[in-house]
Structure 1
């Protein structure tokens, strides 16, 4: 949508990805296939939407800047870095929560074995500007504590 000086919002593009064919053979949605298909198709969908709308990515970033909350973005960067470094998904028992107060970020992470018999926790703090690095360091720390065998059979 675009706002034009107080005018009503206007939809500039409407690009839809259908996964019906990909899931038909399974009789329903398979989460792993759906997640992979989303990631694989995302760049193409964004490019198509930008082309349809005749809006550049820079213009979209300017529109979003008005609603971007920097501390929330920093917390998300930390949490996502933690999950990505541990290959986290909706099907893995991994949790991460970051909070930002002023210029400081606090992070708590947890991994649990699939059967629930083991868990490992990590807590780190640092500069909010280093959010992604804090998340990555937290993942390295908890992975070292758990040991390589902890992650066997997660796939």
Structure 2
């Protein structure tokens, strides 16, 4: 049986959130919806554990979550000045993500909820990103979301809590994945995305004419594998490449990605206006790639051209964090009923359950 929490006083709810879907171990305590306060937001990065491998190793990530999660939860509770008696529910990422890490965080949340006799809320990690702007900017529905991260690149129409429509997605690599693979190709250290951005500032964006895939096609789907292949071809032609060539390739790659996203964003805002002519369009960008300054700037200009509102949450809330999970828990808690202890973590969990899997599907569910 699910617990019906819809009759509670929703003026002020306090929720503990736990996030372990990839390589950040995070816990937070958030109060809302009326006052929207982040009482604590503790994030422990696993950078040192994965640096030697040039990327996240799922087994190492899961083990690291096990080693520190209890301490991170206690730190979040201490910084918030709360005991478990003071919280109204426990929310945790139940997917999508690296399943080992997801299991660690979600089973920990189950144990806390059972021991403290509190409701449990299974949160879709992507919904945490989707609803963050309602925590930071008190944004009303509907709005557009551009989710850009290591694992996801999607345009979503956010019509309400639990009500999402996917308008477009990548048909191959996610943007963050393309950045990281480009970094590896050019011999840049982990983490790849920030290092590509750093070197792009020193490069000539006009030296290499890299493609803007799918821009001549209708719709909002995107592709980045061909762009990555074109960069590899250029690099191999000039081997051995010097530092300036690396910087120029980074600059050209980043500009191509920015152009694709800006063009697609303009088209998405046009679709939004057609469907909601009486609502000022708002585009929210979330996910780790939203921390890229050139991409943010390109999206902001695209929004300005059509008189749309542009919202990018603070950097600390763009990347994986538990405050967004706690807030999504509050959003769901106030609607009720919440989840029971039988719910299971899952590696795949599309926000738009009706959308077909662009990259296929299997017994674990749609891949995208």
TM-score class normalised by the smaller sequence? 0.3 to 0.5
The structure richer in helix per residue is 1
Q: TM-score, normalised by structure 2?
A: 0.23
Asked which structure has the greater RCO (Cα within 8 Å, sep 6+), the reply is 2
